[in-house]
Amino acid sequence: MKDIKVLGSGCKTCQLTADLLKAEAEKLGVSVTIEKVTDYAAIAGYGIAATPGVVVDGKVVHAGGLPKAADVDGWLKA
């Protein structure tokens, strides 16, 4: 089970990021929990300045803009 956090204000790009993560996980058969973090203090605690951010199993793997599906696959397979 992968623990994933999507960091951001809840904007459309943040939602698309969460949807992409869920779709890729289903495609790969990987179990995930996806949590949306919208609290700015919590987001700042991860040290990112641009959202959406993605944290997989406690490690920041992406910040700013919609991630690429190939990148998501790599995070989920790791």
pLDDT, greater one: 25 or 78: 25
pLDDT of residue 13: 97
Q: What is the pTM of this model?
A: 0.95
pLDDT of residue 39: 96
- 3 pLDDT band, cuts 50/70/90, is very high
C-beta separation of 57 from 12 below 8 A: no
Domains in the chain, CATH or no CATH each: 2-77 (3.40.30.10)
pLDDT digits (tens, 9 = 90+) for 9-66: 999 999 999 999 999 999 999 999 999 999 999 999 999 989 999 999 999 999 999 9
DSSP state of 66: P
Cα separation, 76 vs 72, whole angstroms: 6
